[in-house]
């Protein structure tokens, strides 16, 4: 709730400030994975990093900053992901569960190489059925957590 009312927010961990900034900055550019997950749903994936890019289970993504090459992790917020029907050759996820609520449905997805389910709200479609293969498309840049 603080994100919707405040002009500045602070995330504290073990009596210390983990991050201070505007709600948008703290939400979209968290300093670490723990802060990202504390502030809302996040998809965090292992990735191979190169300057301005990351290669992960979702493909080659633009990142929020230039980082040295190496191994790391990338974070995406659910609103950065869109879902579309795909064929077996282009599938990135499988629908495991659908919670239909009229105009919107909440999809629980599984993705190879990612043990936690991905939960997304999207516009309802008849194709959203358990077992259906879907493609996830990313908009915007992924947040990088290196090391």
Residues 63-119 have pLDDT tens digits of 997 877 899 999 999 899 999 988 766 768 999 999 999 999 999 999 887 788 888
Across the range 42-70, mean pLDDT stands at: 89
Q: What is the pTM of this model?
A: 0.83
Q: CA 134: distance to chain centroid?
A: 16
Say which CATH architecture domain 41-146 belongs to. Beta Barrel (2.40)
Tell me how far CA of residue 142 lies from CA of 65, 116, 147, in angstroms. Answer: 9, 18, 16
Q: What local confidence, expressed as pLDDT, does residue 34 receive?
A: 96
Q: What percent of the chain has pLDDT over 70?
A: 95
Across the range 2-31, mean pLDDT stands at: 92
Across the range 35-59, mean pLDDT stands at: 92
| pLDDT confidence tier of residue 147, bands split at 50, 70 and 90 | low
Domains of the chain, by residue range, sit at 41-146
Tell me how far CA of residue 130 lies from CA of 3, 41, 57, 89, 147, in angstroms. Answer: 34, 22, 21, 18, 36
d(CA 122, CA 107): 8
Q: What local confidence, expressed as pLDDT, does residue 92 receive?
A: 83
DSSP annotation of 90: T
């Amino acid at each position: 709730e603080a994100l919707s009312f405040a002009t500045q927010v602070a995330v504290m961990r073990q009596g210390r400030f983990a991050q201070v900034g505007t709600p948008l900055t703290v939400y979209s550019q968290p300093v670490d994975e723990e802060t990202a997950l504390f502030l809302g749903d996040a998809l965090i994936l292992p990735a191979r990093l190169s300057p301005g890019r990351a290669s992960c289970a979702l493909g080659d993504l633009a990142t929020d900053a230039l980082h040295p090459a190496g191994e790391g992790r990338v974070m995406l917020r659910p609103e950065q992901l869109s879902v579309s029907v795909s064929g077996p050759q282009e599938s990135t996820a499988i629908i495991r569960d659908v919670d239909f609520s009229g105009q919107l449905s909440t999809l629980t997805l599984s993705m190879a190489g990612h043990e936690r389910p991905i939960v997304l709200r999207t516009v309802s479609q008849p194709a959203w059925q358990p077992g259906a293969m879907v493609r996830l498309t990313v908009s915007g840049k992924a947040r990088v957590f290196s090391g």
